[in-house]
Amino acid sequence: MWRTWKPYAVLAVLAIGGIWWWNAQSPFATLQDGSYSCTGVYVNEDSKYEILVDSAGQRYSGTARVEGGELVELAGATPLTTTQISRLMLKSTGTTKFHVTDDPATKMYNAIACELAG
């Protein structure tokens, strides 16, 4: 009898882990509503972020707001209009991080990376 429960326990753990990943970490997870702090980045060929800086060495930074899982506001030195925001491609990483770009390149592009503030 003790030998038969182990495969079921493993399957249960895998199922719970899979459901958690799908809802919290996958690109399909819904972003949490709230304010996000953002930084200008370059996404390199390894899909890693490189922080962009201006000529004085200062980071490009901004803020974003998500409502109903959708990006509704993005502002830096100049806020973007709703039309400009609608043209951006959003790639989320879980429920608290995302980046947006207007560059359709599949590798190596400039973007704005945002993370849930607070």
* Most confident range, picked from 3-7, 37-41, 53-57, 73-77: 37-41
Query: Which one has a higher pLDDT value, 75 or 21?
Result: 75
Determine the average pLDDT of the residues in 67-76: 89
Segment 41-57, tens digit of pLDDT = 999 988 899 999 988 88
**With 80 as the cut, is the pLDDT of residue 106 above it?**
no
Q: Measuring CA to CA, which residue among 33, 112, 109 is closest to residue 67?
A: 33
Q: What phi and psi values does residue 72 have, to the nearest 5 degrees?
A: -115, -15
Long-range pairs, 5-10, Cβ under 8 A, ≥24:
none
In contact, 112 and 40? CB cutoff 8 Å: yes
